Structures are given as structure tokens and as C-alpha cells.
Amino acid sequence: MRFQTDLVPARLIRRYKRFLADCTLADGREVTAHCANPGSMMGLAEPGMKIWLEPNDDPKKKLRFGWRLVDHENGHFTGVDTSVPNRALRVALMARQIKPLADYALVRPEVKYGSNSRIDFLLSQPGLPDAYVEVKSVTLSRQPGLAEFPDSVTKRGTKHLNELTTMVSEGHRAVMLYLIQRTDCDRFDLARDIDPTYGAAFKTAKAAGVEVLCFDTIISPESVDIGTAINVIS
């Protein structure tokens, strides 16, 4: 998935009110960018970090820049926009590039289900049970090479796991897919110390038959693409 416009480098001044970030562009101008990430962004929002912004000229948007990447300046990147995984995964699902889900031809995003919820993707194919696929963006890393989720308490994430568990009990296929938006991690585990309730819901869901998939990503200032399958430690 290519970014719609060329990204521009900047330095982070501060992130505040969760969805706002003041930044300094290469020419010295200070701008405010939209930060499409409701999590804590632990380790990714330190002042002075090199980041990449996506400019826009949409008159309907209040801010002219969106924060897309953290550049770790060692050849690795982290994607901070939580909407990117769904866009990249939709492309991969429609191209049948996700092997465990490649038998499904019909891919529908944002379908209502459960208790006032929307599933990220509902996959359908004659002769197969419908597959409900929930996607989570993973950006936390507290140990070299290890990606973790979540980076803050997520009641919404727990609700999604419970909804997937219900789908299995009704005879459907349910998949929890974690997409690691970091290029410096090759392992994945749950951050149970951050949200024990989510950890318990994950254990219940997995025992009930909810499938767990994890993939890494290939990230650059030009694009974000789905990478290879990653083992889940939990």
C-alpha cells in the first residue's frame, strides 16, 4: 500500500491530546499534524525523534499533515497510523496473499455484527463458514526484537475478543490478526502486565477456537506492505 502523497521528514516537538503532534519541518517551519493513534505510543513519542508526515491539501481537513512513521534512524521504521494496517491488509486479502485466508473471494470491510460492533473484515466463500477477521496494529516494543500488544488498557480490544468468541460459538470462523507495524521485531507476545483483562479475554478466545495470526510489515517512507507470518509466543 503506497502512501497517497510523498511523505516529508520532520522532528517531533511534542504529542498531546492523543491526536495532535507539533513538529518541525526540514525548512524550520513548525506545524501541527494529526496523530491517528489512540494508544499510549510508548517509546514512540519522545521529543526530537525523526518522523515522517503525509501532507494533504484537502479543504475538509483542519490539519495539513498526518503523522505516519517514526524513523529510528538505524534503518528501521515504525508505523504509527492505526488505520494503515486495515488498508494494507484489505489489499492483501483481495489479492489472496494471506495464506490462511486465501480461500475467500469476497472481502467486506466494516460489517456490523455482535453487540453494536463492526468487524474489520468479513470474508465469505460458498462452501466455507464466514470468517470474521479483527485486526490490531502493534507498535509497542520493550525488548529488542519483541513486539507486544496492547500498549495501554483497551476495553474496546477486550470487547472485540469477546465478540469473536461468540462468533465461534455460532459456527463461524473467527480470526484475531495482529499486524506488527515495526521493522525491528520478529516475535510477538501479549503485554499482559499492561492490560490483564485483555490477556484473560485472549486466553478465553483462543481456547474457544478463535484463530490467532500475526504478520510483520515492510515499511518505508513510500509504502507499507504485509510481510511474513510471525510466531505468537502466547
pLDDT tens track for 44-74? 999 999 999 999 988 888 999 999 999 999 9
Q: What is the mean pLDDT of the chain?
A: 96
pLDDT at 234: 79
Q: Which residues pair with 46 in a beta bridge?
A: none
Angle CA 173–183–134, to nearest 5: 20
- Give mean pLDDT, residues 12-37: 97
Question: For residue range 173-210, what is the model confidence (pLDDT) as tens digits?
Answer: 999 999 999 999 999 999 999 999 999 999 999 999 99
Predicted confidence (pLDDT) per residue in 90-112, tens digit: 999 999 999 999 999 999 999 99
Predicted pLDDT at 58:
86
User: Could you give the domains of the chain?
Assistant: 8-79 (2.40.50.580), 84-229 (3.40.1350.60)
In whole angstroms, how far apart are CA 3 and each of 30, 56, 79, 88, 173?
Answer: 22, 11, 12, 10, 32
> Could you give the C-alpha distances from 26 to 7, 13, 15, in angstroms and in order?
12, 13, 18
Q: pLDDT tens digit string along 122-151?
A: 999 999 999 999 999 999 999 999 999 999
Q: What is the pLDDT of residue 115?
A: 81
pTM, two decimals, is: 0.94
Query: What pLDDT sits at residue 116?
Result: 84
CA angle, corner 105, sides to 104 and 106, nearest 5?
100
